[in-house]
Structure 1
Amino acid sequence: MKEEKKRTHCIKLRVSEEELAAFKRKFQNSGMQTFAGFLRAMVLDGNIVHFDEKELFEINRLAANISANITQIAYCAKRNCYDYEKEFSEIKESMNKIWEPLRFFIGLNMKVKH
């Protein structure tokens, strides 16, 4: 081992049983060979992501409200025999463009938390 690569310092960290179990679970899922290497990689290469979950869920709520409003408009238009099929298909496509990344981001958030 090269001189600059020698690991001569030790860092101690106290954790709870739950935290240790979470570290071990993430290590098992990492595919890495050693626990020490895993912890070094997490500390040196890991990222800390912080955002307000309330804002994320508010965006989700607003998107759901918009989607419900569009459904009501479509229902009224069909009931009154208006044919706006092309417009509604464009609106549905636009809503899918909103929902897809939103669901993906919420899913990532749940993975990061656990």
Structure 2
Amino acid sequence: MSKERDRKIPIQVYLSENEKYVLDEKIKESKMRNISEYIRHLILYGYVYDIDYNGLKEYNYQIAALGRNINMIRERIMKTGNAYEEDLNEIKELMDKIWHTHESMLSKVPLQKL
């Protein structure tokens, strides 16, 4: 006497060879018994993150601009042979802006459980 399946709806997914390899590796790492168990777990407990990377363009522009400012100060120090306190203070302010920009960008990335 055979037991009737609880799950009666099959699904079919087409993968490239590379995607299949990645899936197989993830299943191995998960220690789950088979692909069905792994995919059911993803459906029930997994998350899909839709991250808008458009902010990275502005972020990169701001970081590059700060880098150019720091480089101009470095060139001035190299030419004069003197590091003036106002130059060092400006570098500190620019570094603070870099960290502020970096923290702002990271705050927009969703948290993930590892």
Aligned pair count? 99
2:33 paired with 1:38: no
- The CA deviation string for residues 30-67 of structure 1, in whole angstroms up to 9 with x for no partner, is x2322322212223333333345565255324312322
What is the CA–CA distance in structure 2 between the aligned matches of 1:69 and 1:89, rounded to whole Å?
12
The letter for the 2-side match of 1:82 is Y
The letter for the 2-side match of 1:33 is M
The letter for the 1-side match of 2:99 is N
Residue 84 (structure 2) aligns with: 82
Residue 111 (structure 2) aligns with: none
What 5-or-longer segments of structure 2 have no aligned partner?
A: 1-5, 109-114
What 5-or-longer segments of structure 1 have no aligned partner?
A: 1-5, 106-114
What is the CA–CA distance in structure 1 between the aligned matches of 2:68 and 2:27, rounded to whole Å?
42
Choose 1 or 2 for highest CA Rg.
2
- The CA deviation string for residues 60-88 of structure 1, in whole angstroms up to 9 with x for no partner, is 24312322223313543684753123443
Structure with the bigger percentage of helix: 1
Identity, % of aligned pairs? 22
Structure 1 residue 14: deviation in Å? 2.5
Q: Which moved more, 1:83-92 or 1:72-81?
A: 72-81
Q: Is the 8 A contact 1:74 1:88 kept in 2?
A: no
Larger relative contact order, structure 1 or 2 (CA cutoff 8 Å, min sep 6): 2
What is the CA–CA distance in structure 2 between the aligned matches of 1:101 and 1:7, rounded to whole Å?
45
Partner secondary structure for residue 85 of structure 2: coil
